[in-house]
Structure 1
Amino acid sequence: MKRNPAKNVKIVKPALSLALLLGLSGITLAGQAPGPLGAPDVPVSHRDRIYAAEQFSNTVSVTDPADNKLLGVIRLGDPTPGNLSPLYRGQLLVHGLGFSPDRRTLAVVSIGSNSVSFIDTATNAVKHVTYVGRSPHEAFYTPDGKEVWVTVRGENYISVIDAATFAEKTRITVAAGPGMQIFSPDGKYGYICSSFNPEVAVVTVADHKIVARVKQESPFCPNIAATPDGRQVWFTLKDIGKTQVFEAHPPFRPLKTLETGAITNHVNFAHTAAGTFAYITIGGLNQVKVFRTDDFTPVATIPVGALPHGLWPSGDGTRIYVGLENADSLAAIDTATNQVVASVPVGQAPQAIVYVPGAVPEGPGTQGLQPLGVAGQTTQLKLVALANGKPVASDNAPTSVTLFDQGLLQVLQASATGLQPKQAYVLALAGQADGTGPLEPLANFTANPAGGAIVNAIGPIRQVVQGIAGAEARRYLVIAPAVNGKPAAPVQVQAM
């Protein structure tokens, strides 16, 4: 029997009685996304696997959810700067994940090498690599398992791959910059949101025809999901911090727009005895927000850690796993209490997450896995606001920074919030802890309409900001407005 997923949600007696009757008769309540509502639930077991795609270590981490234990990583490529060689043959910017309906094949998208790697879930071996167009983002199987649709975000089409031969069979032309696609549980429709244009395309799977377009309130959608009952489609808008919902069937009517928060990342669902609940990762707030899908009321806000990104439910809806991009870990949420109950270390900057029930039908399923190695080495920093020239102490710093070790270098990633929308800024190094003195720019960026941004840089930064190179050479990270192309007085400084 399922449990109440939120403290503020009451289960009425008729629903509970129905659940008891169904449990006694041996019929489970229902399945989890992306499957249909009537699919059997799969209790958590050692046969299940959680996969995370990690873009700075170019790995896929493999976790056993029965005891929340990292088993190892599938190493698809090398860290920087080795992956910049003209002779480099590995994958680069491992990012997107999907899996086949029979749960035997994982599809892994690598943005920088324009590839989809197909991995055997039982052996962790790469079965095939298919190369597609510029900067693919996500891939997923059609519900019948015959096709894999890949959003080629750097171009204007969906690459449709034959699941049996791994070869591209056709393309579906859409607006430039398709972000992600997902399918209605009955397999009739594919829903394709855009990262460059404000529209979602609805495509019939049988003939690959666009039959509708749904307006996005902004151009930047990174993630889209369909409810298991096949009634709704939810998609996130990362640049404006909103989540939209529309009807999954004609006329595809808009239902709701939710204000969710800066750097709204991914959405997914857990179905329980109390109903179906949407879980949304809010990167700028380091939270997961939970909403009912029947009336869209908020039921929980869950602190999870630095920059939550991808998330996926267990096969029985009792847990939601969340990838923490700036913490190199998975957070396990118990949907009965909406509390984080476990943390699992993984590779660098986890992006997409999938939970695959029964991924390993027999045997240990650990063949080919490697230890984390350098992928487990990171440094976390925070930037806080300045007021009257002094840092403002806060438990919820507006900007989190992670330095991902790549050997002698680090990839820096800052999840910045609390800035003026659409204003130009500079991430820089200052000579003094209060941000005074000359500034050495690391990266220029513009805050999105929600006042947030993801900022990247690379170099021997940890040695400098931690004073490893010598106290006299130490520098401090700051964010400053860019005025006439030059940094002005900082507005955020590194917390000490």
Structure 2
Amino acid sequence: MKSVIFSMALLACACLAGLPYARAGQAPGSASDRDIPISHRDRVYAAEQFSNTVSVTDPVDNRLLGVIRLGDPLPGNLSALYKGQLLVHGMGYSPDHRTLAVVSIGSNSVTFIDTTTNAVKHTTYVGRSPHEAFFTPDGREVWVTIRGEDYIDVLDGNTYAEKTRIKVPAGPGMQIFSPDGKYGYVCSSFNPETDVIAVANHTIVGRVKQASPFCPNIAATPDGKQVWFTLKDIGKVQVFDARPPFALLKTLDTGPLTNHVNFARTTKGSFAYVTIGGPNQVKVYRTDDFEQVATIPVGKLPHGLWPSGDGSRIYVDLENGDAVTAIDTLTNKVIATVPVGQAPQALVYVPDAVPAGKGTQNLQPLGLAGQATHLMLASRAGHTVSSAEAPTSVSLFDQGLTQVLQAVVTDLPPKQPYVLALATRADGTGALVPLAAFKTNPAGSAVVNAVGPIRQVVQEGNAAVDRRYLVIVPGTAAAHGAPVQIQVFR
């Protein structure tokens, strides 16, 4: 009799393992769902903005398997006849873990990818500058925040065609759903308001005031009790009750360039992990009393993050480090770093993404997408600093003859105009060639971009007269002051 019961138990476990909609007891699933141990069937995906790729990593040995190329680098993607995707950025996945939804901001698209074969199944073109896309928990719809406009584009979860639109304040940043599928939570990147929408009838049933207008990311706890959202411009995270009347519970001061938030449930409790781009850290908070329990150095400009199916790890991508890091959630230590494509943005961990086979079809080598040069700026010329000490990090993402420059600027006065420029002398003096004008946010930081053959002049000048040095000066290109940050060396 015991052997029969044991056999039935094994059969039940096998059946559960094969359920097409099996979900982990981690975000975005429900706390009542079973955890899924890490296996070679799992995948970590990162959406890479400047190489227009999706990297695919096996979490067992933290090995990059290859990339899915959705578009070309510069200058090919500037052509009027260009057909690929541009600025690959946002990412979600279906409840059965078989389909990725990848948002490309520049080409206004959502690309649906088969996780088993890594092949593109369909591309839906939507409104101006979409930001994130995610399936409803029942898989029937895909909600896409159209950040360049004022609505949520609701797509059919099977055909991927537009069904309807949900009107919201201009600039919806991201949406996520309550684990039971009752509510959709939509924060804004242009207005200080998060909306709560009833999934059943697409009506707004609640509003939460944001402390600032710029929210890029939002997440719901697996127990269905809380919603956390980030405020990148002022370096804060806010928490509200996931149930009516959706009352604000807590505001946390997290740090400049606060990016994404997500959760891990472990034997020690439930924890929120927050990526802080300015100091290159992940901060960890308890979800019951909001106590900060850890600060984890991870690398340059941490952005997206997601828990493994059993909550034993949190995976974080490094936007200015071209890498994905794995954090052990029991020790809160980085245990692995995996090279990926250029400027990874959103990241998802998909348990059981590949139910059979190697799952390496249609993947390509990293190639040019893995090439970048990293520089630093600080307040004194000739000063040797470490990466952790430099207030501004610069990445030059190689696009062939040109590079995309991305500077993560911190430690400046807030709300002031500045210019990133090239100087003829190492101390920042001499004639300046402006690259980009910018204004610091309320936290005194900014992310600045430029394009050109910059590596060749800041790193590879053949003679002293050819070499140029990156500097930041206050004011405008026409009227500026003395340099406040200058290129420095390790």
Report the TM-score when normalising by structure 2.
Answer: 0.94
Structure 2 residue 427 is the aligned partner of structure 1 residue 423: no
Structure 2 residue 30 is the aligned partner of structure 1 residue 36: yes
Cα deviation digits, residues 27-53 of structure 1 (max 9, x gap): xx9710000001110100000000000
Q: Check whether the contact 2:169–2:191 (CA below 8 A) recurs between aligned residues.
A: yes
**Counterpart in the other structure of 1:396:** 389
The amino acid that maps onto 2:427 is D
- Alignment length (residue pairs): 469
Structure 2 residue 418 is the aligned partner of structure 1 residue 433: no
For 1:131, which of 125, 134, 145 is the aligned residue? Answer: 125
Cα deviation digits, residues 289-328 of structure 1 (max 9, x gap): 0000000000000000000000000000000000000010
Q: Check whether the contact 2:24–2:36 (CA below 8 A) recurs between aligned residues.
A: no
The amino acid that maps onto 2:410 is T
Structure 2 residue 244 is the aligned partner of structure 1 residue 253: no
How far off is 1:65 after superposition? 0.2
How far off is 1:390 after superposition? 6.7
Cα deviation digits, residues 232-257 of structure 1 (max 9, x gap): 00000000000000000001000000
For 2:337, which of 336, 343, 353 is the aligned residue? Answer: 343
How far off is 1:91 after superposition? 0.2
**Counterpart in the other structure of 1:54:** 48
Q: Check whether the contact 1:51–1:354 (CA below 8 A) recurs between aligned residues.
A: yes
CA distance in 2 between counterparts of 1:484 and 1:459 reads: 18
Tell me the SS of whatever aligns to 2:122: strand
Cα deviation digits, residues 387-435 of structure 1 (max 9, x gap): xx77474542100100000000000000100011000000001111111
How far off is 1:470 after superposition? 3.5
Q: Check whether the contact 1:391–1:493 (CA below 8 A) recurs between aligned residues.
A: no
**Counterpart in the other structure of 2:368:** 374
Identity of aligned residues (%): 74
Tell me the SS of whatever aligns to 1:83: helix
CA distance in 2 between counterparts of 1:415 and 1:484 reads: 20
Tell me the SS of whatever aligns to 2:475: strand
Cα deviation digits, residues 24-80 of structure 1 (max 9, x gap): xx9xx9710000001110100000000000000000000000000000000000001
For 1:234, which of 213, 228, 231 is the aligned residue? Answer: 228
Structure 2 residue 72 is the aligned partner of structure 1 residue 78: yes
How far off is 1:469 after superposition? 4.5
CA distance in 2 between counterparts of 1:160 and 1:381 reads: 42
Q: Check whether the contact 1:30–1:271 (CA below 8 A) recurs between aligned residues.
A: no
Structure 2 residue 27 is the aligned partner of structure 1 residue 64: no
How far off is 1:264 after superposition? 0.2
**Counterpart in the other structure of 2:378:** 384
For 1:116, which of 110, 116, 125 is the aligned residue? Answer: 110
**Counterpart in the other structure of 1:183:** 177
How far off is 1:468 after superposition? 3.6
CA distance in 2 between counterparts of 1:133 and 1:460 reads: 32
Tell me the SS of whatever aligns to 1:375: helix
Q: Check whether the contact 1:314–1:320 (CA below 8 A) recurs between aligned residues.
A: yes
CA distance in 2 between counterparts of 1:354 and 1:30 reads: 13
Cα deviation digits, residues 451-471 of structure 1 (max 9, x gap): 000000000000000134543
How far off is 1:485 after superposition? 4.2
**Counterpart in the other structure of 2:211:** 217
CA distance in 2 between counterparts of 1:472 and 1:63 reads: 44
**Counterpart in the other structure of 1:474:** 467
**Cα 1:382–1:204, aligned 2, differ >3 Å: closer, same or farther?**
same
Cα deviation digits, residues 166-222 of structure 1 (max 9, x gap): 100000000000000000000000000000000001000000000111000000000
**Counterpart in the other structure of 2:294:** 300
Tell me the SS of whatever aligns to 1:176: coil
RMSD value, Cα:
1.6
**Counterpart in the other structure of 1:7:** none
CA distance in 2 between counterparts of 1:404 and 1:484 reads: 24
**Counterpart in the other structure of 1:244:** 238
Report the TM-score when normalising by structure 1.
Answer: 0.93
**Counterpart in the other structure of 2:400:** 407
Which consecutive unaligned segments of at least 5 residues does structure 2 have?
Answer: 1-15, 17-22
Structure 2 residue 351 is the aligned partner of structure 1 residue 327: no
Tell me the SS of whatever aligns to 1:102: coil
Q: Check whether the contact 1:178–1:195 (CA below 8 A) recurs between aligned residues.
A: yes
The amino acid that maps onto 1:410 is Q
How far off is 1:273 after superposition? 1.2
